[in-house]
Structure 1
Amino acid sequence: MTLYDYSPITERPALEWPDGKRVAFYVGLNIEHFLPDEPSTSIWPLDVKPDALNQGWREYGSRVGIWRTIDILDRHGVRASALVNSMVAEHNPQIIKAGVERDWAWLAHGQTNSILHTGYEPDEERRILTDITTTIETATGKRPKGWMGPALTETHNTPELLGELGYQYVLDWTNDDQPYRLNVPGMLSVPYTLELNDLGLFLRGLSGPDFLQMVKDQYDVLREEGGRVMALALHPFVIGQPFRAKYLNLALEYIAAQSDVWLTTSDEIAAHYLTT
């Protein structure tokens, strides 16, 4: 059995959002912990220890960038869908506290982005997922309902094991503009994005004005179509740089000003879809 069936968007019933809104918009805010001296996301890959260049670049996110990003989200009334590594609870509790105060949605994002979620036997994976889930629930007061693996990684057993733990959806399969049911009882795929993702865009050399225009264009097309999800994927060590944060502020200003947008979270999108 495949994880999901092919379903052309043109052959589905119209999807209605609350209050007749045309687009469900959420920010997927990646809050990650990286292990020192382990290969991970890099601005300039080096095989050295200590890797001060890349570790420092990543840690800018937790020390500075996240706080600048939070200020911008607050300014426009956007609650984050926080994709959180469970190790953040130990290493960056102030970030967890800030998110709890703002009633963020909390999604499990593995243990650390230095370890991909792959290659596990079922019993080992069940133990790891249980530990991740319990750690996040203890830290935030909320049991996570959504999952996105580090670098969007899963095993073939992950969705079923997540279902056993009470999860409702995954973000790993970026193949649609609407939620859809997986062939795992009770589990959905909710749209995420690799395209409108600061990490991929800015590290390919796009500018702040490029980013702003892409956000506007994405929204405008999805609004015209209606019944769509628009995800904006952010990493504080990227978007939290001052010269980029300026354009995040302008982008969210544009989105929040639209009368037909539902500013929401991935949790609320999944819950709405499950009740329609």
Structure 2
Amino acid sequence: MITVMYETWPDGMAPPYSPMASALRDGVIDRQGISWAEYGGKTGIWRLKRLFDAHGVKGTVAANAQAVERYPDSIRALHDAGHEIAGHSYTQNMFMPYLAPDAEQALIKDCSDIIAAATGERPSGWASPRMTPTEHTAGFLAEAGMVWHGDYNDTDLPYVVNTSAGPIVALQHSDFTDNRVMRGAPRDFWDVYRDTFDFLIASDRPEILNLTVHAHFGGRPPMAAVVDRILRHMRAADGVWFARHDEVARWVLEQPHGVG
């Protein structure tokens, strides 16, 4: 599963991390950080789209709804090219555990409406900022008609979560996203994903690898070059399905005895 985190922050706010080694004092607007984050919508997402399209693979783009509003052309282009657009809160600093249940429910609906207005299709899944849900999130997503929830870290393979609003498929997050090498060598990303892929492809059971990058970091040339190399390596192997999250979830729901 190829996952792109397409993230934005409110006006005047930068991500809490960046390649810069020196932090600014509290209360000072970090214009470098803001510009660094804006690279995702202005440049990075387009490079990733070209890369995926060149390899003939489809991915899932977990987009903050504000990114959909700020960069609608990119969202429409991704959707039209066959990539899945999933929910990822409104902005990247809007965390689910900070919200009362009714506010969380409303947030999920509002984000779904924004994605649907841009693409003509309601999202089928959701990944929370920080991949941190509440006890209500899975049920609210099922109630909104979604089929997968990507906030799970207790599984190698998908499984079905039964909620009061119906079933939803739990999908695992990645343990090693691109920002793990932010102040190191992008080649480390290659080493991890090559070795993990080779280990899993040799297994005698179904396996899933979640290759996760961020538009504002993974779309930059040093990281995109490594992602390109990883995809070439994966595509050279037999028995590999490059699946969107919604495709995996619907396949799981069709299995009479689960996966494993």
TM-score by structure 2 length?
0.90
- 1:63 maps to 42
- Cα pair distance change 1:80/1:41, threshold 3 Å: farther
Deviations along 1:31-75, whole A, 9 cap, x unmatched? 112113336342144334431111111111211111211111111
Of 161, 176, 186, 1:208 maps to 186
* Higher RCO (CA 8 Å, separation ≥ 6 residues): 1
Q: Which residue of 1 aligns with 2:202?
A: 224
| One-letter amino acid of the structure 1 residue matched with residue 174 of structure 2 | T
Conserved? CA contact 1:118–1:153, under 8 Å: yes
* 1:155-234 pair list within 5 angstroms: 155-184=134-163, 185-195=166-176, 197-199=177-179, 201-205=180-184, 207-225=185-203, 226-234=205-213
Q: Is the 8 A contact 2:97 2:134 kept in 1?
A: yes
In structure 1, runs of 5+ residues without a counterpart are: 1-25
- SS, match of residue 61 in structure 2: strand
Whether 1:40 aligns to 2:15 is: yes
What is the one-letter code of the residue matched to 1:209?
Answer: R
- How far apart in 1 are the matches of 2:241 and 2:159? 19
Q: Aligned partners of 1:244, 1:129: CA distance in 2, in Å?
A: 31
Give deviations 1:187-238, integer Å, cap 9, x for gaps: 121122032x101x21252x23221121111111111223011111111221
Separation of aligned partners in 1, 2:50 and 2:6: 15
Between the two proteins, the alignment pairs up a number of residues equal to: 248
**Distance in structure 2 (CA, Å) of the matches to 1:203 and 1:85:** 21
Letter of the structure 2 residue corresponding to residue 158 of structure 1: T
Provide Cα deviations, 1:10-36, integer angstroms capped at 9, x if missing partner. xxxxxxxxxxxxxxxx11111112113
Alignment match, 1:12: none
What corresponds to 1:29 in structure 2?
Answer: 4
Q: Label 1:123 to 1:243 Cα distance change in 2 as closer, same or farther (>3 A).
A: closer
What's 1:154 paired with?
Answer: 133
Matching residue of 1:103 = 82
- Asked if the contact 1:194/1:233 (under 8 Å) is kept, the reply is no
- Structure 2: unaligned runs, 5 residues or longer: 256-260
- 8 Å CA contact retained: 2:69, 2:114: no
Partner residue in 1 for 2:218: 239
Which secondary structure state, in structure 1, belongs to the residue aligned with residue 4 of structure 2?
strand
Deviations 1:97-151 (A, max 9, x none): 2112211112110001022122322222222211111111111122111110111
CA contact (8 A) 2:131 2:173 kept: no
Matching residue of 1:79: 58
Percentage of matched positions with identical amino acids: 27
Q: Considering only aligned residues, what root-mean-square deviation do their CA atoms show, in Å?
A: 1.6
